[in-house]
Amino acid sequence: MKSKSLLILLTIGSFFPMEAQEKKQAVNLFFQSYNTPFNVPAFDKIKNEHFKPAILEGIKRNEVEINAIANNPEAPTFENTILAMENVGQLLSEVNRVFGNYNSANTNDELQALAKEIAPNLSSHYDNISLNEKLFARVKTLWNKKESLNLNLEQAKLLENRHKSFVRSGANLSATDKDKLRKINAELSITGLKYGQNILAETNKYELVISDKKELAGLPSQLIEAAASDAKAKGKAGKWVFTLSNSSVMPFLQYSSNRKLRQEIWNAYQMRANNDNEFDNKENAVKLANLRGEKARLLGYKSHADYVLEESMAKKPENVAKLLNDLWKPALEIAKVEAADIQKMMYKEGIKDKVQPYDWRYYTEKIRKQRFDLDEQELKPYFSLDNVRKGVFQVTENLYGLKFKQLTDIPVYHEEVTAWEVTEANGTHVGILYMDFHPRASKRSGAWMTSYRNQETKDGVRQAPVISIVCNFTKPTADAPALLTFDEVTTYFHEFGHALHGLLSDVTYKSLAGTSVPRDFVELPSQIMENWAAEPEVLKMYAKHYKTGETIPNALIEKLQKAGTFDQGFTTVEYLAASLLDMDYHSQTAAITLDANTFEKNAMQKIGLIDAIIPRYRSTYFQHIFSGGYSSGYYSYIWSGVLDTDAFEAFKTTTLFNPEMAKSFRENVLEKGGTEDPMVLYKRFRGAEPSIEPLLRKRGLDKKQVPAKKIKG
């Protein structure tokens, strides 16, 4: 994905004896000031054993704080109830953020075991807050007289969110149903955690080991060098090891002329957590979907999708279905044409089989080279990670005036991570940004942005955020720096857009800050950034040959642009198939009785997905929806795609770095977080609701009779 991603923090609980807890507190970094630059987490001193006692103490303190609010003898006011709730739980939140990020980006067996052990306890703790009748009564009293409270915009939104959170968390349920909800939440927390850990384990355990150099035919030299380096690191010097990390498996599928080996690694990739072993996720996927459906029905909704989408721009499943289905038919038509082109080339090479998923990337690359004289390996020397970073920084500076200074005196959670201070043009501190780029066994796959500290305003002073982006890009080799594919380049721009959403936030309350917006709006800041990556003016700023420093030639840029809509049938179809699979799982109004493979097969047959393409994520490794917070929300990338292409038109039709437009986008989108309705914010920037036409043009679908309508929030 671009993954995009946004980290859903893991929760932990379970108690030490008090004596042991007190001993730990004496040296636990979470119980004292970090004493670090900008008060960032003291990663160099935080140890695994610090997390459990800190979480336990955080739970205990939070319970005391919540009880004090709930039992306050004074009449409820915004200050003593809503604002008080906003400001409690600081220790618990701080530890959870660090632990959650460790468990995603730098985990180990001890942390994974700890997460499993403690997940149900913190689930119970949060249920105790959500189902606290005295607390809800105070919130409800304020909600019922909100018009007389004279609240400003942010205060009103904070009250609305708090009241809605209680209702959607079961505050109005009977005692019996509340007990049912607690059990469901506990099962969801541990099952979701197990699902994600299984994917990591399955990804890490597979290796395609090649001993015969002849079997490397077609592979780029940098990929071969990386495989040799991986082999050496794994004690297999003289061989080549390919893994299921995207930076290894995808270029292997794209360039290896050995069809048998392509099939082997592809099968391993698409069968992750689907091998009837200890890491199998078939039962977990169905269990998660059913638990969510049961919870939604308990809360009075037809389905989990109805429950989730109530809080989105789309509002209801029917609106999502319409967008996805309107795009599905033209995208599938184009994909069938692309498949026919591949089939012709295979026949010419004497291969009479039908096109298989492990053929697609290999023959698409050959057709791209034949049709546009474009070989992606021509591009990679111009996309060294360092140069792309400079380009991202330059685009951001041109748009918003931001400056970036690398910090070497600041602790990081892994040696590969870099830290940066972000400032305004005048030197005013904006925030801290961590960047973590390469795959490793301790990091889950994909790319995402997360936060160690949300922005907020205290006593009129802006408290700066601490943001991180995590990716899995191609590693450097002994002979060359990390040279990115163009897809990796756009992923960098994408995640940086999320980072800007967090960094430039300028709100009062931390729960409304940055990316605290509906799922189908959160991808707008990230996806709009991708548009600058491919613009000729921008390419000339950052695409420099890593050896010679030569700027990317015009001829190569022209090839890249001419190939812009190439393979968009495949790209759109595999994405839409995954989005429709997500909606199928979560739109059920009764428990799913089929196994995950059968359910998925039926869902794909229903929409007519061709055999040569599978969903971008299959049921057993669809981390976005089953353990990543995107359930009933994977469609949001295409929904936000409508927004981002329409928004970019404002720049494209004037100037790429239009200062007025950039200022408006910053002030009305990036700074506002979740303080107002997303469509209100969008229209304030753009002056109208978004049109789907720019997206259709970008994907080459505009000639396929897709209804060109505006989407409404």
Report the alpha-carbon angle 631-636-637, nearest 5.
120
Is pLDDT above 80 for 371?
A: yes
Is CATH 1.10.3720.10 the classification given to domain 8-172? no
Mean pLDDT of the chain: 94
Distance of CA 509 to the CA centre of its chain: 23
* pLDDT class of 17 with cuts at 50, 70, 90: very low
Tell me which residue of 247, 181, 158, 668 sits closest to 473, measured CA to CA: 247
Which residue in the block uniquely carries the two structure tokens 């080996």? 261
pLDDT of residue 24: 43
Mean pLDDT value across residues 366-384 = 95
SS3 assignment for 25-79: HCCCHHHCCCCCHHHCCCCCCCCHHHHHHHHHHHHHHHHHHHHHHHCCCCCCCHH
What positions carry a catalytic annotation? 495
* pLDDT class of 712 with cuts at 50, 70, 90: low
Distance CA 453, CA 466 (A): 5
Tell me which residue of 337, 404, 332, 341 sits closest to 367, measured CA to CA: 341
Is 96 in contact with 405 (CB distance < 8 Å)?
no
Q: Is 136 helix (H, G, I), strand (E, B) or coil?
A: helix
**How long a stretch of residues is the chain?**
713
pLDDT of residue 702: 79
Residue 5 or 55, more confident: 55
Mean pLDDT value across residues 416-442 = 97
For the chain, the domains span 8-172, 206-270, 304-379+566-699, 388-532
Residue 244 DSSP class: S
Tell me which residue of 298, 100, 89, 289 sits closest to 182, measured CA to CA: 298
Give percent of the chain with pLDDT exceeding 70. 95
Tell me which residue of 54, 64, 61 sits closest to 15, measured CA to CA: 54
Distance CA 39, CA 42 (A): 8
- Residues in Cβ contact with 540 at an 8 Å cutoff, skipping those fewer than 6 apart: 551, 552, 557
pTM: 0.93
pLDDT of residue 19: 39
Is 65 in contact with 92 (CB distance < 8 Å)?
no
* The architecture CATH gives domain 304-379+566-699: Orthogonal Bundle (1.10)
pLDDT, one tens digit per residue, over 307-353 is 999 999 999 999 999 999 999 999 999 999 999 999 999 999 999 99
* pLDDT class of 12 with cuts at 50, 70, 90: very low
Q: Is 209 helix (H, G, I), strand (E, B) or coil?
A: strand
Query: CATH topology of 304-379+566-699 equal to that of 388-532?
Result: no
- Name the residue type at position 594: L
Q: Is 354 helix (H, G, I), strand (E, B) or coil?
A: coil
Is pLDDT above 90 for 11?
A: no
pLDDT, one tens digit per residue, over 605-661 is 999 999 999 999 999 999 999 999 999 999 999 999 999 999 999 999 999 999 999
Backbone phi and psi for residue 564, each to the nearest 5 degrees, phi listed first: -60, -40
Is 673 in contact with 521 (CB distance < 8 Å)?
no
Q: Is 649 helix (H, G, I), strand (E, B) or coil?
A: helix
Is 4 in contact with 495 (CB distance < 8 Å)?
yes
Tell me which residue of 306, 322, 243, 199 sits closest to 633, measured CA to CA: 306
Distance CA 3, CA 522 (A): 12
Distance CA 177, CA 170 (A): 8
Is 487 in contact with 571 (CB distance < 8 Å)?
no
Tell me which residue of 382, 57, 380, 10 sits closest to 222, measured CA to CA: 380
- Name the residue type at position 211: S
Q: Where are the alpha helices (DSSP H) in 513-595?
A: 519-533, 536-542, 554-562, 568-586
Residue 235 DSSP class: T
pLDDT of residue 703: 65
Is pLDDT above 90 for 25?
A: no
CATH topology of domain 388-532: Collagenase (Catalytic Domain) (3.40.390)
